Amino acid sequence: MDSTTANTENRLSIAGATCQGCARKIRVALEPLIADNAAVDVDIEQKTVTLPAGIDPADAVRRITEAGYPAEILHAGPAAAKSCCASKTTSSCDSKKSDSEETEPPAPKPTTSSNARNDSNENDDGIQLAITGATCASCVSSIEKALKSVSGVTHAHMNLADNTASASGQVTPQALINAIESAGYGASVIEDPDTADERRQQQDRKRYRTLMVKMAVSLSLGVGLMIWGMGFGSMTVDAGNQTTWINLGILTLGVMIATGSHFFTSAWKAFLHHNANMDTLVALGTGTAWIYSMVVAVFPEALPEMARHVYFEASAMIIGLINLGQALELRAKGKTSEAVRRLLDLRAKTARVIRDGQEQDLPIEQVRKGDQIRVRPGEQLPVDGVVLEGNTRIDESMLTGEPMPVSKGEGDDVSAGTLNTRGSIVYEATRVGSDTALAQIIRLVKKAQGSKPSIGRLADKISSVFVPSVMLIAIAAALVWYNLGPDPVIAHMMVAATTVLIIACPCALGLATPMSVMVGVGKAAEYGALIRQGEALQTAGKINLVILDKTGTITAGEPAVTQVHVVEGDESHLLALAAGLEQHSEHPLAHAIMEKVRQDTIQPADITGFDSLNGKGVAGEHNGDTLRLGNRRWLEDEGLDVTPLDQAAQSITDNAGTPLFVALGTRVMGVIGVADAIKPDSRAAIKRLHQAGIKVMMVTGDVDATAKAICASAGIDDYRAEVLPEDKANVVNDMRKKGYTVAMVGDGINDAPALAAADVGFAIGTGTDVAIESAAITLMRGSLHGVPDAIEISRATVKNIHQNLFGAFVYNSLGIPIAAGLLYPLWGILLSPIIAGAAMSMSSVTVVTNANRLRLFKTSYKINNSSKQEQNQ
C-alpha cells in the first residue's frame, strides 16, 4: 500500500482479536457498512483494521466493539474524518479528533518488554509473565480472573503447561504482578523469552530435586508409621501407647510442615482471596486427618473405642505421594516442549566471519547484517543470508520438514539453523538475531503452544467451581455418614470427607488441553506446518473440504517442458532448434524451453534473423531454411500439415499444456508441450486427503479446459475455473454456506482474503521464504503433503484432548462418589485416604503422559528413504 492510499483509508486499532475466526467476525460486523467484504483488511498481527475511504470510522468502531473487539480510530481518511467529527457519535471519535485533524500517523508503539516495564502502554503482543505456584485448573482460573480485574486489561490468558501468562491492554506490568501476587501466586515479567526458558528449566530441575527429597522424607515417615502400627503396635490409641502417638503426631506435624508447607501457604493465600485450588483440597484433607488423629491421641476418652484410630501415616503419605506426582508431572511437562527446545538447539553459537579478508570465529551476537560468513560441510548456518560463492546442498528439514537436501548456489537464500551437507560456501548475512526465519518460527510455535482452543473452555468453566463444590460434597458425605453410617460414625465421616477432598483432582482437568496443544503444535512444526493458534489446531481436525489454489499450490507455478514428440530427427535436435529461437525471447514459455536445454546440456542451434510474431510464435533462419515455433493455426496458415502430430497435441492439451509446433522449412519436425507442471507429490497428497474423507476442490483463473485437465490429472473432485483472485473468497464463503468446514490452501500473498474467509487458511511456500504470518497454518515445505499432515496431527491432538478430558471427568465423577462411600452399602468398600492420594497423583501424571504419547505420532506421509540417499550422494 503506498502512502497516498494509506492517507485516504481509515485505520482502526482493535483489541482482543487473536485468530482468523475473529477476523471473520469483524468482517461480518462491518458487512452492513461495506458491501465488498474483501475491501476490509483485518490484520490480526498488527491488531488493525483498514477500511476503504468514505466509510464512517465511528460507525465501524461501534460495530466492531459491539462484536466483542474494542476498537479505536488510529487514522481517519479525509472524507471519513469529516463525517466522524461531524457526527461525534462516539467517545472514541471525540478522543481521536485531534489525531485526525493532524492526519499524522500515530507514533510507533513501544513493543519490547523493557519498554513495557515502566510505562503504561498498549501492548499488542501482550506482557508475558512467568508464574509460580500455579498447580491446577483452579489456579489458572484465579490468575486469569486476577489479570482481567486489572483496569485496562483487554485480554488475559494463562498457560498451565509452561506456567506463563500473558495480558494485553493499557496496563503496567507491575499492576499485573501485583494482581497475581494478591491472588496468592508469584509472577515476574519475561523480558527475554530465550533466557526465561533456560531459567525455567533450571528452576524446574531444582524444584524436581526438592520435591523428590520432600517425597522421600514424608513417604519414609508414612510408610514407617504404617509398618510400625500394623506390624508391631496398633493404629488405635490406648493408655499404653498414648504418649508415643502424641509424640508421633508432633513428628508428623513437623514433617508435614517441612515437606508440605507449600500446600498450606498456597491454600491460605487462595482462601483469603475467595479462591480455592488443588492445594486447598490437599491442605484440608491432610489437615483434617492430622487434627482428628491428634484429638484421638490427646483425648481418646472423648471418642468411642471403635473410633480411636489415628491417621498420621495418611497425612504423611498423602503429602509424599502428591509431591511425587508433582515431580513426575514436572518431568513429563519438560518433555512436551521438546519441539521448541530442538529448534532452539539449532541456533549456532559462533560464526566464521570474513572481515577485512581475515576469517575469524565470532560469537553469534556479534554478527552484523552484511557480514560475509564461511560455512564448511557439516556445519550449521548461523544467520539468514544470500550465497555469494560456492555450491552446496543444504538440509532444511529441521525448518521445513522437507527431507531432501536443497541445492544452493550463488544468489540463493539460505536460513539460519539449516545444515550445510556438502560444499563450502561464503554467504552474506541478511537477517541476524531475532530477525532470522528460525527466530520467527520459534516465536510463532511458542505463542501457538500457549494458546487455548475452545475445546478447553468447558474444563475451565468446571474447574472454576470445582474445588468449592468438592468441599460441599465432602461435608455432605460426612453428614450422611454421621446420620446413616455404621459405627464408628466419627471415624467414618472423617475418612469419607478426607478421601473426597484428596481424591478430587482439578489438576488433571487443567492440564488436559494445554498439554496436548503444546505437543500437537510442536509435532506439526516438526512436519514443517506452523500453526499460529490453538483454535486452528482444533478446527483443522474438522475440515471436510479443502480448496486448493492452482498455481504454486498444486502446480510448481513455473511453466516447464512436459512432453516432446518428434516427427523427424531426435528429441535433442528438436529442443536445440526450439532453443535457438527461444534464446532471443522473453516469453515465459521460452524460459521453460531454455531451462529444459540447460538441464539436458543441449547447445541451442544457430539462428539468424529472429522475429517474434505476436499471438503466433517466433521465427528465424537456420541453415538457410525458415524455422518456425508456434501455434497450430499459424503453421496451418503457412501451409504446413500438422496432422501427424494431432494425437501428441491432444495429449499435451489434455494435460493442461500448451503445444508448440516446430517446423523447419516445409517439414514439421515435432511438437513440444509446455505446462505449469503438477508438483510431483501433489497427487499423493490429494489421495491422502481423500483417504481422510476430505473432498478436494480447485479454484483457478485458468480456462475451463485447463482446469478440467489439471483436476483429472491430480485426482481433484471439483473445480471452479476462471475465478478472479478477488473472487476466491466468495467461493470459500459459498462452500461454507453449504455446510462445509473449509480449508483454503494458497500462496499466502494474493490469496489472503480467501485464506481469511476459510475456517482454516493454509499458506504454502517453498523453504523459509514463505510469509509465515499470512495464514492460520503455514506450510514451510512447498508440498501439499503439509495439508494432510496438519489435518492428521490436528485430529490426533483433538482426540488426545478428548481422551484427557474424558479421563479427567470420568476419574473425578467416579472417584468422588466412591471416596464418599457410595460402594459401602453394596460391598462395604470405603477407600483409604492413602489410596485416594495415590490415585490423585496418578491421574494428573496419566494426563501428562497421554499428552506425551502424541510425541510418537507419525503422519501417513512416507518418506522415500532411498530417494533421499540418492539425493545425498
Partner 1 sequence: MTSFLVNLTGLALMAAVVWWFWLAPTDSKTQR
Only one of the segments 302-310, 380-388, 432-440, 477-485 lies at the binding site for partner 1 (rule: CB under 8 A); that segment is: 477-485
Q: What's the rounded Cα separation, in Å, for the pair 303 and 298?
A: 11
Q: Which stretch binds partner 1 (CB under 8 A): 268-276, 445-453, 537-545, 610-618?
A: 268-276
Binding mask 174-193 for partner 1 (x = CB under 8 A): --------x-----------
Candidates 148, 587, 736, 795: give the one binding partner 1 (CB under 8 A).
148
Report if residue 306 touches partner 1, rule: CB under 8 A.
Answer: no
CA distance 821 to 619: 95
Q: Cβ contacts of residue 372 below 8 Å, gap of 6+?
A: 353, 354, 355, 388, 426, 427, 428, 429
The one segment of 409-417, 466-474, 758-766, 856-864 that binds partner 1 by CB under 8 A: 466-474
Does 472 interact with partner 1 (rule: CB under 8 A)? yes
Q: Draw the binding track, 837-856, toward partner 1 (x: CB under 8 A; -: no contact).
A: --------------------
How many angstroms separate the CA atoms of 227 and 241, rounded? 16
Tell me which stretch binds partner 1 (CB under 8 A): 251-259, 479-487, 648-656, 839-847.
479-487
Smallest gap, in angstroms, from Cβ of residue 815 to partner 1?
20
Interface with partner 1, residue 145, by CB under 8 A: yes
- 509 CB-near residues (< 8 Å, 6+ apart): 136, 137, 459, 462, 463, 466, 805, 808, 809, 812
**Is 368 a binder of partner 1 (CB under 8 A)?**
no
Cα angle at 491 between 254 and 281, to 5 degrees?
Answer: 55
Of 426, 479, 567, 602, the one binding partner 1 by CB under 8 A = 479
Q: Does 482 bind partner 1 (CB under 8 A)?
A: yes
HSE, side-chain direction, 13 A CA sphere, residue 769: 12
Q: Is 2 tagged catalytic?
A: no
- Least CB distance to partner 1 at residue 468 (A): 4
Among 189, 226, 354, 476, binds partner 1 (CB under 8 A): 476
Position of cell 550449521?
Answer: 380
Separation CA 98–CA 529 (nearest Å): 45
User: CB of 303: closest distance to partner 1 in angstroms?
Assistant: 12
C-alpha dist (Å) from residue 205 to 158, 202, 258, 330: 22, 5, 20, 9
Say if CB 260 and CB 214 are below 8 A apart. Answer: yes
Q: Per the omega criterion (within 30 degrees of 0), is the bond before 108 cis?
A: no
Q: Take residue 536 and report the three cell numbers written for it.
A: 486452528
- CA–CA gap between residue 774 and residue 755 (Å, rounded): 8
With binding defined as CB under 8 A, does residue 149 bind partner 1?
yes
Q: Between 283 and 716, whose beta carbon lies closer to partner 1?
A: 283
Contacts (CB under 8 A) with partner 1, residues 483-512: 483
For partner 1, the closer CB: 271 or 809? 271
Cβ(470)–Cβ(500) under 8 Å? yes
Interface with partner 1, residue 151, by CB under 8 A: yes
Is 130 in contact with 164 (CB distance < 8 Å)?
yes
Give the footprint of partner 1 on residues 673-712 (CB under 8 A). Answer: none
Question: Measured from the CB atom, is 273 or 667 closer to partner 1?
Answer: 273
Does position 820 interact with partner 1 (CB under 8 A)? The reply is no
Task: Tell me the closest approach of the beta carbon of residue 172 to partner 1, in angstroms.
Answer: 15
Closest contact distance (angstroms) between CB of 798 and partner 1 is 32
Instruction: Write down the least CB distance from residue 282 to partner 1, Å.
Output: 17
Which residues, 6+ apart, have CB-to-CB distance to 455 below 8 Å? 513, 538, 798, 801, 802, 805
Question: Cα–Cα distance between 465 and 18 in angstroms, integer?
Answer: 27
Q: Binding of partner 1 at residue 448 (CB under 8 A)?
A: no
Using CB under 8 A, pick the residue from 134, 316, 471, 760 that binds partner 1: 471
* Residue of 162, 384, 549, 759 marked catalytic: 549
Per CB under 8 A, 443 contacts partner 1 = no
AA letter at 464: S
Binding partner 1 (rule: CB under 8 A), the pick from 26, 67, 80, 146 is 146
Q: Smallest distance from the beta carbon of 145 to partner 1, in angstroms? A: 5
In angstroms, the CA 745 to CA 760 distance is 9
Q: Is 162 helix (H, G, I), strand (E, B) or coil?
A: coil
The dihedrals phi and psi of 126, each to the nearest 5 degrees, come to: 85, 160
Q: Is 299 in the site for partner 1 (CB under 8 A)?
A: no
Number of H helices, E strands in the chain: 32, 31
For residue 302, the minimal CB distance to partner 1 (Å) is 12
Single residue of 175, 226, 426, 475 touching partner 1 by CB under 8 A:
475
Site for partner 1 in 269-288 (CB under 8 A): 271, 273-276
- End-to-end distance of the chain based on CA atoms, in angstroms? 46
**Selected binder of partner 1 within 235, 353, 478, 566 (CB under 8 A):** 478
Number of residues that bind partner 1 (CB under 8 A): 23
State the amino acid at position 738 in one-letter form: K
Phi, psi of 408 (to 5 degrees): -130, 135
Closest-CA residue to 22 (of 113, 171, 155, 176): 155
Residues classed as catalytic: 549
Rule CB under 8 A: which residues touch partner 1? 145-146, 148-151, 182, 271, 273-276, 465, 467-468, 471-472, 475-476, 478-479, 482-483
